[in-house]
Each structure stands twice: as C-alpha cells, then as structure tokens.
Structure 1
Amino acid sequence: MTANEQQPKLTRPAEQESDKRPPQKINILKVRDDYRPVYFEPVDEGAKFKLCKDVKASWVTTTDREFGLKELRSRVEPWLTSLFQSEHLSFLAGSGLTHAVHQIATGGPAAGMSGDVSEGRFRSRILAAATASAKEAGRDESNIEDQIRVANELLRGLEIFGADKHAKALREDLLKSLLDFSQSILESEAGIAKADKTKREQAFNTLVTFLMSFASRTGVRDRLNIFTTNYDRLIEAGAELAGLHLLDRFLGNLMPIFRSSRLDLDMHYNPPGIRGEPRYLEGVARFTKLHGSVDWVQSDEDIRRIGLPFGADTVEPYLEAPALRGINAHALMIYPNAAKDRETAEYPYVELFRDLAAAVCRPNSTLITYGYSFGDEHINRVIRDMLTIPSTHLVVISRSDQLGRIMKTYEELGRPSQISLMIGPALADLQTLTETFLPKAAIDKTTFRMSELLKQRYGTEQPPTAQSPATGDTHIAEGSS
C-alpha cells in the first residue's frame, strides 16, 4: 500500500479514487497480526475477491492475488471465536442492525433520521443551529435528534423570556415532530412484522443466530452486555424469539419502572444432586438502550416502559392508560443528545452511560460494534478510555463507511494492535456474517472435547478430510485453544 503509507491519514486506495467505483464495493479487513487494514474488492459476481492496487497481505499467497470466502473464513472466524470468549464481552448495535434486518425482510432500508422539527417562524434558526452542532460532532448534516435538542433549548428560552405565544407554537411543532418520529420508528418495526412470512422468518432467524453467537458464553465467563443506540425494539423481539432473557434497569410486570438502584442481579440455578455454588443460567444477557426507547415515557418523576406492541400503528392510544393521564409525546424518552453529551449527565442517561463505561472499561474486555458509525462523541469517549487498558480489544463490523467516520476514528485512536476491522458487504452483510464468520451459537465443553479428540487422532496438523467447512468445527478448535 505504497501510496497510502505516505499519507498520515488512511484513505481509500488510489485505484478506487481514480475510477470512482462505489465505496460500498471496497472491503476493509484487519484481524489477527495485520499491521494495517487490508483493502480488497469483488471480482466478477463477488464469489472471488482480489486485493486493491498497491495493497499487500501476508495471508494472500496466490499469484493472481485472488481469494474467496473460504480463505476469509479461515482468517476471521478463529479470531472472532477467541475474542468472543474474552473474560468480559460487550456488543454495541447501531442503526445498521435495524437496516440489515429490515433489508432481509422487506428488501429495503428502515426509516432514517431525517425530517424537520419545526415548520414555524423558528425553522431556519433551528436548522442552522442543529447543522452547526452536527458539524462540531463530525457530521455534515443534522438529523432529527439534533433538531429536537435545539428546539427544546429554544423552547426553554422562550418560556424563560415570557414569549408565551411563540413558546406555544413551538411546543405544538415539537409535539408533532415527536409523534412523527415515533411513527417512523414504529413503521420500521411494522415493515418487518408485516413482511412476507418466508422473508420475515428468514430475517428473524438470522437475527436470532446473530444474537446467540454473542450470548453463548461458557459458564465461567461474565455475562454478555448488549448496548444499542436504537429506539426500536428489534433486539428485544429477537431475544424473545431466541429465548434470551434480557436484564435491564426496569423492574415490574404491568408497567416496569426504571430503577437507578438496580443491584448486580443475575439468574442462577442449582444443578440436581450437586451442592455448592449455583451456576449461571444459560441464555441471559444484560441490556442497555443508551438513547432511550420508543416505549419509554416519563410519568411524573419516574421513567416507565409501556406495553407498546412491536410494530404498532401509533403510540398515542397506549398513552391513555389511567396511570399515564395527561402524558403526550413530549414524555417519550427518544431524544437524547447525540452531538454534545449534556443530556447524558441527566436522568436517566447518566445511569445508562455509567453502565456502558463500567462494562467495557476493565481489563480483558472485548467490545464488538455492528452498524455503529462512530457519530456519537459521548460513546466514542468511552471507547477511547477503554483502549487505554492494554488488554482490551475493539472489533468494528460495519457494512460501509461512506462518511469515513470509522476510519477517521481508527486513526485518531492510534492503537491499531487493539482494533480489528471488518468493513464492507463481503464481511459485514448480516447473512454472510452469521453464516460464515461468526462462531457457532454453542461454544461449550463438547466442542472443546471434540477438538482435543481430533488433535489426538490427527495431530496438530489435521488432514483436509478432518475439516468440516459446513460446521466450522476445525476453525473453532483453532480459535478456542
């Protein structure tokens, strides 16, 4: 990568710049002993790949510089399997996960973060302030979160100033925007829930396999921590289908309430006929929604989770319960501050981000991100602090990096030995990822005993007939040893 090595900033290979190929066709891989990211692109229909111009990789030995999924799998899967069995494992899901599942179910992307928060006299000022805030966070354009935050600040200023007429008009605009925003979230859920049965089952089966690859931890390891910046309930739906029990800060059954005083609760069982310490119950993970949720509302001094069905038409009828009398869309907890983290110092976000920092900023911890574009500085700061611990590792999985924020953050972090990259459709397409690169969903003692048996029979160098590409047992044994 001669041309790129001369640049202090990592950019796309020169070949891509010259012929203007779509950036999503370029894949970036950095795992194991790769000193720098390896750029490669598909050949013909994508069954084969080749290194980009001026790119070298020690694991590509063919004279034509071509390779396939088999070579990529042998490179990636053992590495991920090893990392997934770290002492502490955390998973951060961004909007890319929702888009990926929605794409499988419907053939199109989910709803985005576009839209205007106000159509009144303050519209231009709100948009200008939101855009300036977004640029400070490294984004070229503002989204609905930026606009809602600015509108809330302006509304508070108008109320203090005593401009009741203008405050009332802006409050009505803000209420409509929040309802529209919640509606778009529910429409994304409904698109999956109402999709063709075959496609819907395929989407949810892929999601279940994806989640269980992370959640299948051996009994001596700490629980998986799942974090998400999404407002939808896709992870909850997938966990329900998978039989995965999620531990969060909400307690109660009818209308769960958010508790700051949550103890370090867990679920154990006593094996029959065995005395001593209880064992971890399988299929349990800790779950935190960093940016709130479409079914969270503020009722008086409490944050409650309402019984909003997955893919409901609208949220309004579910706000008419007697315990929520007088509540409207203003009370929805779906608008944390994504550009400047002022709101993360306020309830309940201070608790949520404390959970993130406590989970990842400790020795022998691995954080996997999927579909997260590194656009939230308050999350990036926690990741930056995590990497100051030498035994931690970050794995970034994303289908694209069209805005360049992932690679920019990779450079700024300056710890390449602690970061793995899997960027591009050949690596991060959800179906390809679950079928080819992620470890199987049951890493248990049987797998380890089988690997030891294979070593005893065939030695450390197993013959080709002993390998099983369909199940990946040989690769799992390599990564787990």
Structure 2
Amino acid sequence: MTNDHEKKAKNNSGNKAQFKIIQGGLSNHAREVTFDQLKSYLQPILSEKIHINFLIGSGSSLPAIPIMGTTFSDYKKSHKNDGEFNNILKLYYEKCSNEADLNNIELFLSWLANRVNGLSQSELGTEQKIKDELTKTLIDSITKGYLKEIKKTNRGTKDESTNSPDSTTTNYELFIRRTAKLRESTSSQFDTVNLFTTNYDLFLENALDGLDYAYTDGFRAKLHPEFNITEYSRRPVDVAHRFRNRWSPVSPFFRVYKLHGSINWIEVDDKIEKKSNIKEVGESVVIAPTTSKYADSQGAPYSDLFRELSVQLLNPNSLLVVNGFGFGDEHINELIIQALGRSDFALLAFVKEDEVGVTRFMEKVRGNTKVTFITNGKENDKANYFSTLVELLAFEDPFEVHKNSEDPASDK
C-alpha cells in the first residue's frame, strides 16, 4: 500500500524542472532541476562535517501567522472611517516612491517614527498613538496566530489537523526531526545546530520541546528564567551513557537565537525574563519592524545575540541556510556579507528572486560562488516556502505518516 509520503515523493519527482539553482547572485550560473535532483544536492551538504546554521524568517510561520503586509492591510480596513488615521495615511502615500511601499508596514512605521522624532510634544498625539497601536496590533496578531495554531494541534486532542501537511506546527516539528537526523552521523564537533530567527513566535521552541531534543534559548533554568548570553556556551552531557568514565555531550544539540525578541519575553528590573504562559505576558520585549532595527539592536540582549550571529557565521567551515527571510534587514545582510569574505563559509538561501530585498542582496553578492540561491523553476512558484525545505529534508521514517497528503509545496 502506498503511503502518503510515497505519494508526495511521486508528486515531486519526474522530469519537470521545479526549481532553479543560481550561484553567485543575479545573472550568474543557473540551472533548473527537479525536486529529486535538488534533494540529492541538498541532503549531502547538510550531512557534511561542517557547522550548520539556519536563519528562519517570518515567511516560515505561514499559514498560522499572517505576513506583516496582511496585518497592515487589515488594520487599514478596520480604520477606514478614522479621519485622523486616513489623513496620516494620505501623507505617507504621497511619500511612497512605488506601489510596493503602500502596504509596507516597516516603511510606514519608520516614517511615523521619523515624524514623531521631529514633532514637538504638543503635536505628538496622533502619530504616536497610531505607531503604538499598529505595533501592538502586529504583536497581537503573532500571539493570537501562534496560540490558535497550538490549540488546534494540541497533542492531547484527536484533532486530525495536527498531522495536516499545511500545519505550521507539523512543518516545524518535521524540520527539527529531519535536521537532527541529517546531523546525527557527524562528530560532536559539528552536531550542534544553530537556529537564528527574526520571528517573535515560539514554533521552534514548541517543536524542540515536543520532540524532546536538548536545546538552549539563552535562558538559565530558574524559577524565573533569566536571559544570559553565556548559556550558549554551555552544553549538557549524557551521564547515563558515559563510556570509560568519559562524558559524552548530548547529541544533537540545538541553540535558538531570537534576534528580534520574543512574545514570551518581558523586562523585569532591567533584566529579560521568559514567561511560560504568554497569555500573562502583556508587553513583549521585541524590536519593532522599522528601519531603526539596527539602532534598536545595539542594546541588551540584542547586541549579544547579533554578536553571536557574527561569531557563528565566522566559524571555520560554516554553512548558513536561509528560509522565510527576504533580506530586508540590512544589519543581518552585512553580517552575512562579512562572513562571505571567508573562503570556508557558504550561503544557501531559499528565495523568491523577484522580491525587492532579495534582488538587492543578489546584486550585492553577484559573482560570489560561495552563494547559492534556490528559487522557482518553470513548474513551481513555491521554492521559498518552508514546507518545501521541510520536504527536501525528508528521509524514510515509518513514524511520518500524514492523513491529508497534498503537494508539500502547496502551502507555506
């Protein structure tokens, strides 16, 4: 009997060129490949004795959490009769240089922030109110989307959507499981996987908890977990399976770096604490999506987290795999470009090449053969989907049986 994963493989195999591999940025060496060819290309790379880093962006948490542009559109619709807001929006539209900017929440919040900085205290009212309200709306949409998805896929229920291929929770769990499998044959020097993310949600931590993999997120195990950057230099050992009185580190091991903060972080007496119940959090500690992200990241704990990103990317024999990130954060882009100055660093990015941020970054790294972009071929428009990466990592596993199988790249 053919199982669902065999059907998926069949759907993805064949002679149709679904993906395009581009080396060195725009207008450089490119070739179209099938799903199976791309899988055969990717998995050996991720099994090598190298340091593995992932950069996970907001696109990876679809469909549970809407993209920021969708949140901005919904906010505008809900305020269509708000005269003060529409007056501000009209001023913003007059400043937009192209149509794509009209629904760009980051540019709008940045524009608002600049106006707030240039206004007197008596003039602040409307701009500051809209900026604060829209930022809160964005964080709330992420929190609500995460909680709704977790409730829907709660392991204590019999909800079949838990195993649906369009479940964000399922995608993250399969990503962790399959990455761990690819790294299990490497030595303890290379079996740590660094998971950098610009997302505020908790899907990575939820997947690691659910699969019971050892990991650190930078917080010390205390009654009130407190962030301390030194936690990333610690690693648990396997006491039960020591051999000849030698301690063996727990393998594989994951490090989670929340570069822009998290919905379950709060500030208490100038310290960052983590709450287990995000319903009680209130004001989350996050970097708002504005062009001032670089300046905002200079304070603790963000400066420490970005320093860790730089350090890990400059590790000898390192690979960075990017998914769901549109290269819109110049601070991160510069750290990647800096790492590309090394001969033993490589970048592998799953992208939609016609996105503005992606196009600009591809232009910057043009000609660098250590950069590989995976984008859409003639028969596919979902190369940048997280579910596509997850399926490319798949291996034969009798425990991975989904009841509602579709083309794995049918949903993000």
TM-score (norm 1): 0.63
1:37-436 counterparts in 2 under 5 A? 37-39=30-32, 69=34, 72-99=35-62, 102=64, 110-113=66-69, 114-115=71-72, 140-141=101-102, 143-149=104-110, 151=112, 155=116, 161=120, 163=121, 165-167=122-124, 171-195=128-152, 197-202=159-164, 203=167, 204-216=169-181, 217=183, 218-222=186-190, 223-262=192-231, 264-270=233-239, 272=241, 274-275=243-244, 277-309=246-278, 315=279, 318-319=280-281, 329=283, 332-335=285-288, 337-338=290-291, 341-398=294-351, 400-424=352-376, 425=381, 427-435=383-391
How far, CA to CA, are the matches of 1:405 and 1:292 in structure 2? 22
Say if 1:244 and 1:154 are closer, same or farther in 2 by CA, change over 3 A. Answer: farther
Following TM superposition, by how much is the alpha carbon of 1:227 offset from its aligned partner in structure 2, in angstroms? Answer: 0.5
Instruction: Report the Cα distance in structure 1 between the residues aligned to 2:317 and 2:97, rounded to whole angstroms.
Output: 35
How far apart are residue 428 of structure 1 and its match? Answer: 4.7
Q: How many angstroms does 1:291 deviate by?
A: 1.1
Q: CA deviation at 1:221?
A: 3.2
Q: Secondary structure at 2:344's aligned position in 1?
A: coil
Q: Give CA deviations for 1:155-192 in whole Å, capped at 9, x if unaligned.
A: 5665xx5x2x5446655444433332222112321442
Describe the shift of the 1:39–1:173 C-alpha distance in structure 2 as closer, same or farther (beyond 3 A): same
Change (3 A) 1:124 1:356: farther
Relative to structure 1, is the Cα distance of residues 127 and 184 closer, same or farther in structure 2, using a 3 angstrom cutoff?
farther
* Counterpart selection for 2:21 from 14, 18, 29: 29
Tell me the secondary structure at the aligned position of residue 348 of structure 2. strand
The aligned residue for residue 60 of structure 1 is none
Structure 2 partner of 1:447: none
* Structure (1 or 2) with the larger CA radius of gyration: 1
Using the aligned pairs only, state the percent identity.
21
Cα offset, 1:152, TM superposition: 5.0
Greater RCO (Cα-Cα under 8 Å, separation 6 or more): 2
- Check conservation: 2:229, 2:304, Cα contact below 8 A: yes
Residue 418 of structure 1, CA deviation: 0.8
State the SS of the aligned residue for 2:374. strand
CA RMSD of aligned residues (A): 3.7
> How far has the Cα of 1:270 moved from its partner?
4.0
1:97-156 CA deviation, whole Å, 9 max, x = no partner? Answer: 101x53xxxxxx725344369978688668867997x989xx735644444455556556
Structure 1 residue runs without a partner (length 5+) = 1-24, 41-68, 103-108, 310-314, 320-327, 443-481
1:241-287 CA-to-partner distances (Å, cap 9, x unmatched) read 22223312222444322224546111112464623542220242011
User: Residues 109 and 289 of structure 2 are in contact (CA less than 8 Å); yes or no, is this contact kept in structure 1?
Assistant: no
Distance in 2, Cα, partners of 1:127 & 1:376: 26
CA distance 1:431–1:172, change in 2 (3 Å): closer
Q: Which runs of 5+ in 2 are unaligned?
A: 1-16, 154-158, 398-412
d(CA) in 2 for partners of 1:151, 1:406: 25
SS at match of 1:269: strand
Aligned partner of residue 28 in structure 1, secondary structure: strand
Secondary structure class of the residue paired with 1:224: strand
